[in-house]
Amino acid sequence: MATSASAKLSKAVKQQYMSLPQGDKVQAMYIWIDGSGEGLRCKTRTLDSEPKSIEELPEWNFDGSSTYQSEGSNSDMFLIPAAMFRDPFRKDPNKLVLCEVLKYNRKPAETNLRHCCKQIMSMVENQHPWFGMEQEYTLLGTDGHPFGWPSNGFPGPQGPYYCGVGADKAYGRDIVEAHYRACLYAGVQICGTNAEVMPAQWEFQIGPCEGINMGDHLWVARFILHRVCEDFGIVASFDPKPIPGNWNGAGCHTNFRCVLTMYHIADFFFLNDSIERLSKRHQYHIRTYDPKGGLDNARRLTGHHETSNINEFSAGVANRGASIRIPRSVGQDKKGYFEDRRPSANCDPYSVTEALIRTCLLKEEGDETIDYSK
């Protein structure tokens, strides 16, 4: 299996430099989503003191022609700090800074889906929408072959790997443990992790997060995973179907509840109403739930391997083959949350959470969204 050059560098040699004092200066790593809608980019600047809030962070810029976001003749784009976390790689007082991207005219870049999501979330903030997203991913060598798989073949069929223990069942746990601890250090709202059904496939869960925080925390958790994998010489893939054939794909199942609605006397009616509205807007959600308008999910949502069929909407209690799964306890108690199992592993969480708000709380209908700024 091919190994990345970075993994061959001596981490012990690096550490003697990382342990040097940095005085009063602070390194702030600015992170943004590139023009693919999936890739993350980053660069670092020095600050004179530790920022205590997002307002203390300066705007910055970058060359958008090198990130699929602009033409070379007009390439400067703006980085607007949006969320700040502790840096688990350089450690305190250094920061990770998640940014929105604006074009030369100060309008949001095409892949800046946070801007609109934040506006929509502000419209329903008094209803306190909460989300939890289950991010599946696959560990690959730099040659694209799943980590731990035989170089010229396949491992044994699925069955013993989900939540498995042992060297023959869990491939890459060191990465998972390092990522988990790094997220906790950073202040990311990570709430769990487990080995998934396909060998070398894992999942971490982010939440519960309210409103715009869901997208912020998931994107930073993804960034941290990429950085941890870089140190180990491994690649983290969010492809919804990384290995064709009789292997599970990778999703980002999204759990949703509305605190001030789902916990009063009309709980059950709200749940039913939301599912009914989702059923009538299936194609809109499918287009929204992966960065290629549904083409990525078409490889995954086949009706097999614990997925629903991409062309059909379904809902059921404890049914992992449905579009919407109602947990058994929710079905019994007539209150709680539901799980939308359609979002792909490479979805944009801002887009997914915004779509759920538009359909379930703002009660939009049809295939088009409403522009509330007009």
- Among the four given CATH numbers 3.30.365.10, 3.10.20.70, 3.90.420.10, 3.40.630.10, the one describing domain 24-110: 3.10.20.70
> In the CATH scheme, what is the code of domain 121-361?
3.30.590.10
Rounded to 5 degrees, what angle do the CA atoms 325, 326, 329 make?
140
Helix (H, G, I), strand (E, B) or coil at 273: helix
Edge-to-edge order in the sheet of strand 26-33:
40-47, 26-33, 95-102, 76-86, 60-63
Query: Is the bond into 157 cis (omega within 30 degrees of 0)?
Result: no
pTM of the full structure:
0.96
Q: Is the dihedral of CA 156, 161, 166, 167 positive or negative?
A: positive
Structural domain spans, the chain: 24-110, 121-361
Each residue's pLDDT expressed in tens, for the chain with a length of 374 residues: 566 777 778 888 999 999 999 999 999 999 999 999 999 999 999 999 999 999 999 999 999 999 999 887 788 999 999 999 999 999 999 999 999 999 999 999 999 999 999 999 999 999 999 999 999 999 999 999 999 999 888 999 999 999 999 999 999 999 999 999 999 999 999 999 999 999 999 999 999 999 999 999 999 999 999 999 999 999 999 999 999 999 999 999 999 998 765 445 446 777 889 999 999 999 999 999 999 999 999 999 999 999 999 999 999 998 889 999 999 988 787 778 999 999 999 999 999 999 999 999 999 999 999 999 87
Token reading at 209: 């997060």
